[in-house]
Structure 1
Amino acid sequence: MTTKFKLVKSLGAAALATAAICAAVPASAQEARIAAVNSERILRDSQPAKAAQVKLEQEFSKRDRELQDLAQKIKAMADKLDKDTAVLADADRQRRQREVADQDREFQRKQREFREDLNQRRNEELAQVLERANRVIRQLAEQRKYDLIVQEAVYVNPRIDITDDVMKALNAGSK
């Protein structure tokens, strides 16, 4: 290749690059519409989130009371064993210690199952709330012509925070 041909080729590439940059400038000069939403606040303070919390409390309150009663029963058994240890025969003391230990293991198992069930149901309920919130966010984005809505950020200027608008729409939809 000749030097002249290389120079023409590189000038052509430079011209194409310059044209592409010039064409892109008007597109990037258009301001992007951005908003932010605090999902944590929605999951904590919105009416659907509060209703889900009440529903969970009603659903799990009986099991919670049963666990509390069982814990008190085990504590009473352990306290009585401690009080009676001095006057009990070795066989009776060991039998009662086993009973307390068995009851405690049963309590621990039930408590673990309770926590697992509660966490699973809480996650299901919050997922439904989040799904509804995301539908509302998409509707607001289309109505207001947002290019981007961020749900988690380190800092959000209150000017672009639309959390209150999302909560109003969610709360209105839950009535």
Structure 2
Amino acid sequence: MKFNKFSKCLQIGLIAIPSAFAMSLTYAQDAGTRVAVVNSEKVFNESNLAKAMQTRLQNEFTKRQNDLRDSAEKIKTAAEKLDRDSAVMNEAERVRRQRELADQDRELQRKQREFTEDLNQRTFEERAKIAEKANLVLRQIAEQRKLDVIMQEAAFVSPKADITDDVIKALNSQK
């Protein structure tokens, strides 16, 4: 008997919750909820902060990238020389050089992984700084325009709801 009362209360609750949610959405639409959309990837690519970030990262990582490329070229050249000379080499010398090349290749791959991890970490750090500033700008724009919701990305965005360029302009005007 108690189970039936609980079951009925649960059923009523399950009906009431979606109804309340639907009513709140209807109310929000009637109240004129103001929504805007920002394309965060465009902010991360086109703002002056993003361009400065790209320059910093390029300056920081170019030397390592060039060193890796040079090492890869040396290994490739050594492998080609070994292929050409292997016919006239004795077995012991050929095996020794193959091991050296394999060791050099493993070391290069390790350095390339470290490079990629370091670059990804620094990119994440720099993007976090931009995101922090962009969030402050978004709050300011939301307050100025009396926006209720700002969404990132959308399947479709009306140009009048897209505030991406305004966010970029505001970020670019900051010192």
The interval holding the TM-score normalised by the smaller chain is 0.7 to 0.9
Distance 1:70 1:143 in 2: 55
The correspondence of residues 3-14 of structure 1 with structure 2, limited to 5 A, is: none
The answer as to 2:142 corresponding to 1:137 is: no
**Cα gap change, 1:100/1:42 in structure 2, threshold over 3 Å: closer, same or farther?**
same
- After TM superposition, give the deviation of residue 96 of structure 1 in Å: 0.4
The correspondence of residues 43-122 of structure 1 with structure 2, limited to 5 A, is: 43-122=44-123
The alignment's TM-score, normalised by the length of structure 2, stands at 0.82
The amino acid across from 2:32 in the alignment is E
The amino acid across from 2:54 in the alignment is Q
Secondary structure class of the residue paired with 2:160: helix
- After TM superposition, give the deviation of residue 130 of structure 1 in Å: 1.2
Residue segments in structure 1 that go unaligned for 5+ positions in a row: 1-23
The alignment's TM-score, normalised by the length of structure 1, stands at 0.82
* More moved, 104-113 vs 154-163: 154-163
Residue segments in structure 2 that go unaligned for 5+ positions in a row: 1-23
- After TM superposition, give the deviation of residue 32 of structure 1 in Å: 1.1
* More moved, 29-38 vs 55-64: 29-38
Alignment partner, residue 161 of structure 1: 162
Alignment partner, residue 4 of structure 1: none
The correspondence of residues 22-33 of structure 1 with structure 2, limited to 5 A, is: 29-33=30-34
**Cα gap change, 1:27/1:127 in structure 2, threshold over 3 Å: closer, same or farther?**
closer
Secondary structure class of the residue paired with 1:35: strand
Alignment partner, residue 123 of structure 1: 124
1:16-52 Cα deviation digits (max 9, x unpaired): xxxxxxxx88775321111111111101111101110
**Cα gap change, 1:86/1:136 in structure 2, threshold over 3 Å: closer, same or farther?**
same
RMSD of aligned Cα (Å): 1.7
- After TM superposition, give the deviation of residue 155 of structure 1 in Å: 1.2
Secondary structure class of the residue paired with 1:146: coil
The amino acid across from 1:105 in the alignment is R
Distance 1:110 1:125 in 2: 22
Distance 2:27 2:125 in 1: 46
Distance 1:137 1:74 in 2: 50
Alignment partner, residue 5 of structure 1: none
- After TM superposition, give the deviation of residue 153 of structure 1 in Å: 1.4
Distance 1:93 1:27 in 2: 77
1:50-105 Cα deviation digits (max 9, x unpaired): 11011000000111111011001101110110010000000000000001000000
How many pairs align? 152
Secondary structure class of the residue paired with 1:158: coil
Distance 2:30 2:116 in 1: 53
**Cα gap change, 1:29/1:99 in structure 2, threshold over 3 Å: closer, same or farther?**
same
Identity of aligned residues (%): 58
